[in-house]
Amino acid sequence: MKKKSGDLRGVRGGYLSRYYEEWAQPCFPQRPFRHLRSPRPHWEICRPDIRPLLERGDMVFFYGGGQMCRGVLVVTGNLPEIDAVTYLGQAWLKWHRRQRCQHRNHNDDPDGRVRKDHVILGDPRRSLWVEPSGLDLRAREWNWLRGQHKIGLRRNVQLSSGDCQRLYAALKSVA
């Protein structure tokens, strides 16, 4: 049976991850940045501890300053750099290699090799980026996230399949 756009069957779970508006991660065509590296939503460089764990059907929700959830990446692939170039193109590869080679960890040591692989591809039909509005996670209806200490204390938190479906429906309603 062919899935319809927005069909969430097969969602395994996911993460709620903090992003910084001045950084070029995650990449969505709707996100205002100087250089559009690829028309396909994707995530690389950031969070090399989380990206290896993601599989097809997972979701990553991105929230920024003020706890505004602005996007969700519905994972279709977790690829090494060499395979990701097929989907994202040569301009992406040039940018990606430059960025990961300049990256340093919290001890100021170069860690580009760690960030090379596990490029997360998003489903272009089901992944969403909502800007400038977004979904305000401080609203009363999202108290369960704060009540379970899912946001506010940590930058990245694991979500159940039910959490993902609930957030996805709400984000899609403000898109």
Domain segments of the chain as ranges? 14-174
Q: What is the pLDDT of residues 115-141, one digit of tens each?
A: 778 999 999 999 999 988 889 988 888
Is the pLDDT at 157 greater than 50? The verdict is yes
| Partner residues linked to 17 by β-bridges | 62, 156
- The CA distance from 166 to 61, in Å, is 12
Question: Residue 175: its pLDDT value, please?
Answer: 83
Is the pLDDT at 145 greater than 60? The verdict is yes
Query: Per-residue confidence at 60, pLDDT binned at 50, 70, 90?
Result: very high
- The CA distance from 82 to 62, in Å, is 26
Mean pLDDT for the stretch of residues 159-167 = 89
Is the pLDDT at 3 greater than 50? The verdict is no
Is the pLDDT at 71 greater than 50? The verdict is yes
* DSSP tally for the chain: helices H, then strands E: 4, 8
Tell me which range, 67-81, 91-105, 155-169, is most confidently predicted by mean pLDDT.
67-81
CATH 3.10.590 at 14-174, yes or no? yes
Residue 161: partners with Cβ closer than 8 Å, 6 or more residues away: 11, 12, 13
Is the pLDDT at 12 greater than 50? The verdict is yes
Query: What percent of the chain has a predicted confidence (pLDDT) above 90?
Result: 30
Q: What is the mean pLDDT of the chain?
A: 81
75 touches 59 (CB < 8 A)? yes
